Amino acid sequence: MGALGVVIHGFIMVIIAICLMSEETNAAQGTAIFYDPPYIPSACYGRQNLGVMVAGASDAIWRNRAACGKNYRVRCIGGANLAPHPCKAGNVVVKIVDYCSSPCNGDINLSRDAFSKIADLNAGKVKIEYFPA
Ligand SMILES: *[C@@H]1O[C@H](CO)[C@@H](O)[C@H](O)[C@H]1NC(C)=O
């Protein structure tokens, strides 16, 4: 590799490291549960239909409605009970449209549609990593 190659290589490594770090600093860990359709009416949008990739926010992220409309990328990172093989690969982006009133059984209450993309519905509850998307 020539000198320029080394510089470019180093530059790319730094960019990748920054991306990984910024993702980590914004990432939170918690738990997710799910709820069944219909997903309307919702606490944020009333009878307005925002699709099926939606979620209810617990007090962990609700912040007196400030969470309404925020998108979160959510990934399953493990089981929260004894259910075998709780996680599926990949992640989903959901929009907060509702409030999971306290005591909520998880930090994010995913729609059944969203939960089933990242986890086994039979698990009911899983550990997640989530960050603003
Ligand atoms: C969230 O989950 C709980 C417990 O399963 C459920 O009772 C509640 O109605 C759900 N809804 C929303 C929108 O958070």
Q: How many A from CA of 3 to the centre of ligand 1?
A: 58
What is the CATH topology of the domain spanning 28-132? Barwin-like endoglucanases (2.40.40)
pLDDT, tens digit (0-9, with 9 covering 90-100), for 90-108: 999 999 999 999 999 999 9
Domain chopping of the chain, boundaries: 28-132
pLDDT, tens digit (0-9, with 9 covering 90-100), for 21-45: 665 567 999 999 999 999 999 999 9
3-class SS at 63?
coil
* Per-residue model confidence (pLDDT) at position 26: 77
109 C-beta closer than 6 A to ligand 1:
yes
Contact in structure between 95 and 70 (CB atoms under 8 Å): yes
pTM for the whole structure: 0.83
Query: Can you tell me the distance from the alpha carbon of 29 to that of 101, in angstroms, rounded to the nearest whole number?
Result: 19
Q: How many A from CA of 26 to the centre of ligand 1?
A: 25
Q: How many A from CA of 13 to the centre of ligand 1?
A: 43
Q: Is the pLDDT of residue 12 over 80?
A: no
* Per-residue model confidence (pLDDT) at position 25: 64
Give the Å distances, CA to CA, from 39 to 16, 57, 84, 131: 38, 13, 28, 22
